[in-house]
Structure 1
Amino acid sequence: MRRIAWIAVLLSACGALWGQEITEENFLKEENALAARFEAQSEAFSGQFAAAQSQAKRDSLTAAYNALFQQCLHAMEVLSVKYAATPSGLQRCFAVRLGLSKDTLRAVWNRLPKELRRSPYGRAVALHCRAKELRPGGKVYNLRAWNAQGRPFRLRQWRGTPVLLLYGGLGCMGASGREYLDALYAKTSREELRIVVFWPVSSPDELAALAEEYPSRYLQVSDFKGDTTPVKIRCQAQATPTCFLLDSRGRLVFKTIGLYPGKVEEYLSAKDR
């Protein structure tokens, strides 16, 4: 059971508790207050970390910061469920969906006004509730996408070859991550490994701009459905980059939040033996 599955019970038991509080304005006010508190506390941690004289102290501060981050995330999950019947609350609820149980999300969706159920984020939450959980050894969603020039791509067209699929994140990983991907592409043949980056953008122009900013020999594609792309939902991705290594049969070997070269190299080395 996920960490706040109990919210589903709270929704059914205390639905009238929030009453007139549930407005777009109030959600944004509470969200901004939560973000401001977290930012202030983060700055305090940064100052203490810079002044720390020992590794033990830095480790202690890192652990405390991680706990603070989890507390903030939990508070955001609760807030998004509380205000899910507002447009911004529903959008935030979708963003934190991976930390919520599907029972909670179904309860949220059942309480939505019809217009929000039919909205892009309402449909996205419904699809997430129906989607099967992606586990190692399972088949990865056969995404359909295009490059910036309009050339179509289907993931299954690379069946027979291992694939490293990245959900966005070329900017987030920094120059060292991009350099690793370039080197990985150069040192492997296309029979050994394929690399593709899927961007959750809304237009070919956005994709072209990203491909220009982060030029590569490997493929960069999108389905141009933006934040609510089915790829994001069916692959259970949110943070960027989320990385998926698929074997030659299209089965998931591993999924990581962030790029971990060691795991990729370990798989390729084992495959060669």
Structure 2
Amino acid sequence: MYKLNYYIPTMFLLLLLAGCKKEATLQPSNKDENYLVVKDNPSDPVEHAIYQFYHATGVPVFYNDTIAREQIGDNDGVPRYSYIKLATAYSPSGINTFLFFRLLSKKEKVLPMLPFLEDKVLPRINGALPVQSILLVDSIRLRGTSGSGTTTTVNKPYVGFNTVIIKAVRADTMSVLSQKSNAASVLAMLMLKKLHVEYSTRLNADFYNISVNSAPGMSVYVQPLSALSPDESLTLEDFGFIKRNPTNLSAVWTPYQQDDLIAYLEALFFYDTTAQFEAVYTAYPLVLQKFKVVKGLAKEIGFSFAD
């Protein structure tokens, strides 16, 4: 105890003297720089390909969430920097502390994704939704709560404040159906954020209530199917629930509300026409009603479709 009391004032004095050393005065930066602008680097094949993609689409692609640094001063000749990062988990309502992602182990993984994004994803958006930037990563994991439990979403796109986080895949070796499925997943998550922000009231009234009203007086979300159909005569589709592409819907439980909506959004961008979707679910009127609602909202936002 004696030694502790002796060293505390000594340490305080040393810290005080260290803080009195002359340091360059920090000056406010008057730069109004857009860090989402991509600059060319012809000597680096990956950087050059990213620049060509940016030049063609106007959308910057990153493989690191730290996109710039600025010197803000120095300490005895040692530069001090401020690092500019993409706002991956930020939103006006707070920070999402349940988002985890792993950056690309090799930046070359970007290359097969660029034609996929340019040909399969961005043309479908066609100005309907803003895409400020894209961050490609090795993996994504999002935990959250919905209804009565905790959900974990793995390797699904995540829409951050100024970037869309997407798992990089070997799109050049994928089948046509797999490419459509991956593109539909990205488009669905982009539209999901728009719907949550601006259409929540209408979603409850026009979309979710179709399933809610199929079992009056009962809770239809996150329920065992046996609770809704004790005699096992009805399927999930009879209550307006469909499989989420490409993850199969459990045959014995109804989905969370958000998963229900995502399933329809992915279907919306996976099927080329309404007729194709209706051919699969022609026996389920509630499914057809919910798909019609989702497609109507998509058109209202600005998406265009073949029919």
TM bin (shorter chain) = under 0.3
Which structure would you say has the larger Rg?
2
Instruction: State the TM-score, normalized to the length of structure 2.
Output: 0.25
Q: Which has the higher helix share?
A: 1
Instruction: State the TM-score, normalized to the length of structure 1.
Output: 0.28
Q: Which has the higher strand share?
A: 2
